[in-house]
A and B are shown apart, each in its own frame.
Chain A
């Protein structure tokens, strides 16, 4: 038997065949190195083990996509989520599953002539949708615009003075619920889709958090949960829905759902109810007698970034 077939490899790689015993010094050193390395790896990964133990579960890991769940499966998921909310936030909440109504397609219009930029819509959104308190998150961003230009280049979202400023006008922007939504196209796992009533939703339990949709959206309508949302127990809105305002998990995308837990029950979105000037008009685009249709038929409306072909269902107009 030759040298290369027993101990060392022959030559070329610098190793020596130093006897028959596998317990030679080099092998012992190697074994020690491997053990130390493995221990160090386990130690380095320990935060991951914590997180797995506290924030995930087998049921959650194996949970199916929302649209694949049958009635029983969904019921179990909703029950578990309510339990989690109680465990994690101490709050008693009801999480429903509000489905689109037949013959309804939602549209939103905003009267820029009377919006005063008070940002009460953004604040109402913040509370209604159980946003993280620390980041002050909201699905609505209000831009203070320079008169004489419609270009957002001259907008400012961080104004901090009494409103309305006489030289400015105000433009709230939120999800446009596009008919041709780029965010839905790019999602690699179908975690976001457009419902029959036109609302683009996210399955927070399916999203992998790649943030491709956030890059694709031309309206800054999508938000990521950079951390686990923090909300005091007493401030949690307990009327929740699976696809809308339930407290989101860490590491997933979220977005405006036109408050589907309200609007699919015949109520108005929270941002509309909070508006002190009546600048916001919401309704069913398929109902010829609805207020939103009246606006579209009688006012000169426009949509944001029409040239991108996203076909928004959110319209702006001046009186």
Chain B
């Protein structure tokens, strides 16, 4: 086959455009091959995810056709499960930075070897975020109105336009960093620092910005006392730095078991160390908010009262939030045990618990009480409809598919199992 002619020649120190044109094509071909081949377990996993995402795609298509009346949202609770998941996933995307900081600022060697796993997670999470915004639109056909220069972009006044900028910017930054590093590894060359290190440092600040701006979407609304608190952005960040590392620790353990990728003990230790602190700060902030609300009472406490204890027999959120609180506290205790590293399965349990805990807290526990009671003090509860669950599951399945495929490409390339220049 003539496709691999570049392998037989001496590589020039500086490649011209023609070289990149052919070798990049090779890279894409290899990537395609890598992410479509695997064990039966891999195929089964992908088939299950495809099936779930198909259910979601269909539910969304029906929603567009019949209107958002098929959701449980209404003029009182006008955002629901979609925006709840969006908010949480911005945090998951930002959470990956907890690998980037140790790797690039503290030069943690183990972390440096595994940091790409966090950066790829950011890509998959941001894609899911954007999908959750799209499915929440009443008129997805008018998405182009939201594009700078083409549509009408209400920047800088609308915080949503800031979110469009920071989320897409973060996606591009991570695509560039991961793409560049993978391509260089594929060529068998050492990546040039100037082509990625500056972007890595920008991405660190950018990660903070995505979750801060997302918090500003809510805390800037004076008519919603539940969200109108300066603590919202710091709390968003702290909980993101719980959920992000928790997810990555589980992924690292899975990779260690399922592939030959060397995951250094140091990465897991560092991430656990980070979680031990962030989960405590998050619990302190939660206590502080609860104290302020309940001790003061009045208008600011009504939504919190409803969230934690219900109101007049209405208690749709009570089981959610107490599950979250219990998971967070149990997770914190497990994480803080001195011997957590000797029993890795307890670490896994702790990670799953805090991940679900934050998903509830930053999702249903944050978005829904903002609308209950309504601004005219009407009590309308919200329980997501079947359509919303299907679409939500579909997007999560799609995101996991993307993440799986990205890892399928990245791991062999990084372990030098494959490359375009040297073979065997």
Contact = CB atoms under 8 A, between A and B. Distances in A.
Asked if A and B bind, the verdict is yes
Interface of A: 1-6, 8-15, 26, 30, 37, 40-41, 43-48, 50-52, 56, 61, 65, 141, 143, 151-153, 155, 157-158, 173, 182, 185-191, 206-212, 214-220, 222-228, 249-252, 305, 308-310
B138 A211 contact: yes
Contacts of B166: none
Contacts of B224: 215, 218
A220 B75 contact: yes
B34 A52 contact: no
18 contacts: A5-B4, A13-B37, A13-B408, A13-B417, A13-B418, A44-B55, A47-B66, A158-B378, A206-B145, A206-B152, A207-B139, A208-B140, A208-B145, A210-B133, A211-B138, A225-B67, A225-B138, A250-B138
Contact of A224 (B1, B64, B75, B153): B75
Contacts of B371: 215
Contacts of A212: 158, 160, 217
B54 to A, nearest CB: 5
Contacts of B375: 217-220
Given A11-B417, A211-B138, A44 B423 contact: no
Contacts of A6: 1, 4
Nearest to A206: B145
A127 B253 CA distance: 62
A106 B114 CA distance: 63
Contacts of A208: 137-140, 142-143, 145-146
Nearest to A153: B377
B13 to A, nearest CB: 23
Given A215-B370, A225-B138, A226-B74, A141 B146 contact: no
B30 interface: yes
B61 A47 contact: yes
Interface in B20-36: 30, 33-34, 36
Interface string B153-168: 1100111110010000
A12 B411 CA distance: 9
Contacts, number: 220
A70 to B, nearest CB: 16
Interface string B26-63: 00001001101111001000000010001101100110
B12 interface: no
A57 to B, nearest CB: 11
B191 interface: no
B417 A46 contact: no
Interface residues of B, number: 77
B223 A227 contact: no
B69 interface: yes
Contacts of B364: none
Which of A13, A37, A252 has the largest count of B CB atoms less than 10 A from its CB?
Answer: A13
Which of A141, A218, A308 has the largest count of B CB atoms less than 10 A from its CB?
Answer: A218
Interface in B357-382: 370-371, 373-378
Contacts of B412: 9, 12-13
A61 B376 contact: no
Nearest to B41: A14
Given A52-B141, A188-B158, A208-B145, A224 B58 contact: no
B161 A188 contact: yes
Contacts of B217: 212
A206 B4 CA distance: 51
Contacts of B73: 226
B238 to A, nearest CB: 24
A202 to B, nearest CB: 12
Given A209-B137, A310-B222, 13 more contacts: A1-B1, A2-B423, A9-B37, A10-B418, A45-B57, A153-B302, A153-B377, A157-B376, A190-B154, A191-B145, A211-B79, A225-B67, A251-B137
A206 B376 contact: no
B284 interface: no
Given A12-B412, A210-B136, A186 B160 contact: yes
B222 A308 contact: yes
A1 B4 CA distance: 8
Nearest to A251: B138
B402 to A, nearest CB: 15
Contact of B417 (A12, A191, A309): A12
Given A51-B64, A187-B158, A209-B137, A152 B377 contact: yes
Interface in B409-424: 411-412, 415, 417-418, 423-424
B78 interface: yes
Contacts of A37: 50
A302 to B, nearest CB: 16
B151 interface: yes
A52 B141 CA distance: 9
A249 B142 CA distance: 13
Given A5-B1, A45-B58, A15 B37 contact: yes
B415 A224 contact: no
B10 interface: no
Nearest to A214: B78
A118 B56 CA distance: 45
B7 interface: yes
B223 A305 contact: yes
